[in-house]
Structure 1
Amino acid sequence: MSILKEKLELLLKNLNEQLNIHQGFIENYGPQEKNLALVVAELTKNEEAPHRQRLNDELLRYGPIEPLLEDEEITEIIINSPNDIFIERLGHFSRHEDTFLSLPTFMSFVQRLQFESKIQADLKNPFIDGKWKCFRMHLALPPLVPNYPHLTLRRQKSCGWSLQDLQKREWADEFAFTSIHNLIQQSKNILIIGTTGSGKTSFLSACLKELPEKCRVVAIEDTDEITLPNRLSTKLLTRRDPAGHLPEITQEALLKQSLRMRPERLIMGEVRGQEAKDLLLTLSTGHRGSLATLHASSRAEALKRLEVLVQMGAPQWSLDTIRFLIFKGFDIIVTVDQIAGQRRLKEIAKISSLEREHFTFEVIWQRKERDEKQRVFSHNTIR
């Protein structure tokens, strides 16, 4: 690694002389990238092939994460500094063996990702979300994070997961998959819940693949993640303009627009704000076969959180009213989780009744296990 760093330092010095710009040139690589590529090729032509490739990756591509991009076993890449790169493979984090060779090339990499994602972070707007290649990207800038820009890249499967893909990965047993398929065909309204990284969006996309080719789906998202089932379907994305030049467009506004777009099934990428009020009003008036995700670790927590989100949009509503709308709006709660480092289905439950102060449930399928090798499933017949 030290040899490569020395070679890079010399290369940067030569580039500085040949291109007649300061060493920080690479942070504004856009207009000069073609000239830069030609000069780098000339300056590295006598290097050994592995060194030449690595220097090219550092200056012109994505540095140490270049070989990680096509490895679909890697689900998350976390970069906290030029020297601190971590990867999640099959549910477990480990430190990446390679690092960026210099601070200027690391900053160039950060700038390149923003340029390619058509987003820009700055001191006024230090947090941004976007989509880069097949990853969902989150970028945070100092001083709100320590010392260096922090990047989190979460992989999105290019063609989306299917239930068959999940079955091959032992996500659940055959009864669970049959139950899910039947619930989708019966046009049940399904709330998918789970914690961060549990696979809520992956499972949602898999459910959509069970729909008929001529089913019109309208999806609403903050970032472009959900894989649409067919060309008849479409999605609406929120807009947040940190610079303040354009008005913000929220999920609440998009939900109202989606109802004018003839959806057969309505999909909410994640319920996280006062749009919960309009979603429940829509679902409770007979809009069937819809799906949404919510960040929660259990069905009890999910329903409490849903109550709070609805109150944000309708503080004048009573809890009895909100609970009635939840009961009328959602039929099924599916809980997903990470178990022993693997994404797994945890539970399928039907909201069977609404009592005076609580909901009652019929558990259709439930995972009861001590570890991945000792699996115990329980299930009931779907009614």
Structure 2
Amino acid sequence: MDNKEFKFSSEWGKVRELVFQVLNLDLIEHLKNEPNQILREVQTAIREINSSGAAYISADELNVLASMICDEIVGYGPIDSLMKDETVNDILINGPYSIYVERGGILSKTDKFFISDRQLLDIARRLVNKVGKNLDEAHPLVDSRMPDGSRLNVVIPPIAIDGVSMSIRKFGTGRRTFHDLIHSGSLDENMANFLVIAARCRMNIIVSGGTGSGKTTMLNALSGFIGEHERTITLEDAAELKLQQDHVVRMETKVGGDDGRGKITMRDLLVNALRMRPDRIILGECRGEEAFEMLQAMNTGHSGSMSTLHANTAKDALSRLESMIIMAQSELPISAIKRYISSSINFIIQVSRLPDGQRKVMSITEVLGIETDNIVTHDVFKFKINDEKKEGSKIQGEFICNGLVKRSALYESAQYYEMSEVLEKLMLNAVGIKA
């Protein structure tokens, strides 16, 4: 069905509403696991509507419309197949006739569409109701986690000017490992081994990047190297982390009621986590005043903690942290804030989604300390784009290792964890052989 046939949608919407008035809903509920029988019931209902003169569609349209209504009854209408498609990472809906998906970092418009604005709103409400929330004029914006873990955001008028907008960030079926990331070209073997050592040696790590750049994927991969004997607490707005260890406590923020009662913020979770005897704290995303408590945790016996934040470069990540700490502790001078950050964070992993859809680790940057009130950093690894070398439409480049500086905190920690020999050998190999 292409765009030229959308002229039928107005009549289709009318027929759809009449179908739900005609259908025996008790019988439909009983037939929930028999889609073929439901399809026949819907086809019969449309024929009755045609015969009554209340509305009319052709025989060809009847079969298409009946199938779409059946998909809505047993699933989520036109997006049902997209929800089941494991190659789809994001589903983005801008009104009933504009549905996009993201596969492999590339956005593309699908040939899927909703029967009408009403069907889109009904399906959006059903998704929202499944997570125990309401979608109406009093609650025109909902951001939540679906039962399968996917992230759901719905906006309706008057907030959404052009009609219902819905975004679904799908929940992956499996946790991607460093082996998977090497295979996809996100990083090379030397970088992966370096990050394994950093995680095992309890370095404090920030994963920085834009939306959809692979921050959570990287955090999941890093978390695989937390020791089984360590007590780890994860804090998230929507639970996406998949830690494999046994001793993990997972916590999630909570949106309050209309009066704000019952609201649990990330800062609340972090303050409470510090009282739970954690060995490591993993903060799904640092975005506000909780930054101060996060750095406090990293600085006071919870080494090996990790978090993500939105920033385009490692230096931007440090600037964002400064801004977030000022929000929480406005009385602190900027020089003290910089010293606090530099003494708390060891490494920043910068990830990006390139214009061609590839996800790359653009740099692994070590935070070395303070010199003349400036935070000093050093890029241990960096992805260098080769403008002259292209393979089809794919951006080409190479991962370059600049080595560790002598005063790196990782050397001292590696010695304590009996990994200094492995680290030395890795760095010599990485510097000598460019990936």
TM-score (norm 2): 0.79
Q: 2:247 corresponds to which letter in structure 1?
A: L
- Structure 2 equivalent of residue 351 of structure 1: 367
Q: Unaligned regions of 5+ residues in structure 1, if any?
A: 20-28
* Residues 1:119 and 1:161: Cα distance change in structure 2 (over 3 Å): farther
Q: Equivalences for 1:304-323 in 2 at 5 Å?
A: 304-323=319-338
Matched, 1:230 2:235: no
Instruction: Compare CA radii of gyration and give the structure with the larger one.
Output: 2
Matched, 1:34 2:32: no
Q: 1:16 corresponds to which letter in structure 2?
A: Q
**Conserved in 1, the CA contact under 8 Å of 2:205 and 2:348?**
yes
* Residues 1:263 and 1:118: Cα distance change in structure 2 (over 3 Å): same
The structural deviation recorded for 1:55 is: 3.2
Q: Structure 2 residue aligned with 1:377, among 399, 418, 423? A: 399
**Separation in 1, partners of 2:298, 2:245:** 23
* Residues 1:363 and 1:17: Cα distance change in structure 2 (over 3 Å): closer
Question: 3-state SS of the aligned residue for 2:348?
Answer: strand
* Residues 1:94 and 1:184: Cα distance change in structure 2 (over 3 Å): same
- Structure 2 equivalent of residue 360 of structure 1: 376
* Residues 1:260 and 1:230: Cα distance change in structure 2 (over 3 Å): same
Matched, 1:186 2:201: yes
Q: 2:396 corresponds to which letter in structure 1?
A: Q
**Conserved in 2, the CA contact under 8 Å of 1:63 and 1:100?**
yes
Question: 3-state SS of the aligned residue for 2:89?
Answer: strand
Percent identity over paired residues = 27
**Separation in 2, partners of 1:361, 1:245:** 41
Q: Structure 2 residue aligned with 1:114, among 108, 128, 132? A: 128
TM-score (norm 1): 0.89
**Conserved in 1, the CA contact under 8 Å of 2:234 and 2:249?**
yes
Question: 3-state SS of the aligned residue for 2:226?
Answer: coil
- Count of residue correspondences: 373
- Structure 2 equivalent of residue 131 of structure 1: 145
**Conserved in 2, the CA contact under 8 Å of 1:58 and 1:101?**
no
Q: Unaligned regions of 5+ residues in structure 2, if any?
A: 45-58, 405-410, 412-435
Q: Structure 1 residue aligned with 2:347, among 308, 332, 351? A: 332
The structural deviation recorded for 1:311 is: 0.8
**Separation in 1, partners of 2:350, 2:305:** 16
Q: Equivalences for 1:168-317 in 2 at 5 Å?
A: 168-244=183-259, 246-317=261-332
**Separation in 2, partners of 1:282, 1:183:** 18
* Residues 1:33 and 1:205: Cα distance change in structure 2 (over 3 Å): farther
**Conserved in 2, the CA contact under 8 Å of 1:59 and 1:105?**
no
* Residues 1:337 and 1:119: Cα distance change in structure 2 (over 3 Å): same
Q: How well do the aligned residues superpose, as a CA RMSD in angstroms?
A: 2.7
**Separation in 2, partners of 1:41, 1:376:** 54
The structural deviation recorded for 1:77 is: 0.7
**Separation in 2, partners of 1:84, 1:301:** 34
Question: 3-state SS of the aligned residue for 2:262?
Answer: coil
**Separation in 2, partners of 1:149, 1:44:** 26
**Conserved in 2, the CA contact under 8 Å of 1:238 and 1:254?**
yes
**Conserved in 1, the CA contact under 8 Å of 2:149 and 2:240?**
no
Question: 3-state SS of the aligned residue for 1:137?
Answer: strand
**Conserved in 1, the CA contact under 8 Å of 2:348 and 2:366?**
yes
* Residues 1:42 and 1:12: Cα distance change in structure 2 (over 3 Å): farther
Question: 3-state SS of the aligned residue for 1:74?
Answer: coil
Q: 1:303 corresponds to which letter in structure 2?
A: L
Q: Equivalences for 1:3-14 in 2 at 5 Å?
A: 10=15, 12-14=17-19
Question: 3-state SS of the aligned residue for 1:234?
Answer: strand
**Separation in 2, partners of 1:263, 1:355:** 32
- Structure 2 equivalent of residue 88 of structure 1: 102
**Separation in 2, partners of 1:154, 1:15:** 30
Q: 1:90 corresponds to which letter in structure 2?
A: G
- Structure 2 equivalent of residue 24 of structure 1: none
The structural deviation recorded for 1:7 is: 7.2
- Structure 2 equivalent of residue 76 of structure 1: 90
Q: Deviations over 1:232-277 (max 9, x none)?
A: 1011111112422633211111111111222111111111111111
The structural deviation recorded for 1:198 is: 0.8
The structural deviation recorded for 1:36 is: 8.4
**Separation in 1, partners of 2:189, 2:85:** 28
**Conserved in 2, the CA contact under 8 Å of 1:284 and 1:328?**
yes
Q: Deviations over 1:325-366 (max 9, x none)?
A: 101110001100012211111100111121122111221110
**Separation in 2, partners of 1:250, 1:98:** 37
- Structure 1 equivalent of residue 21 of structure 2: 16
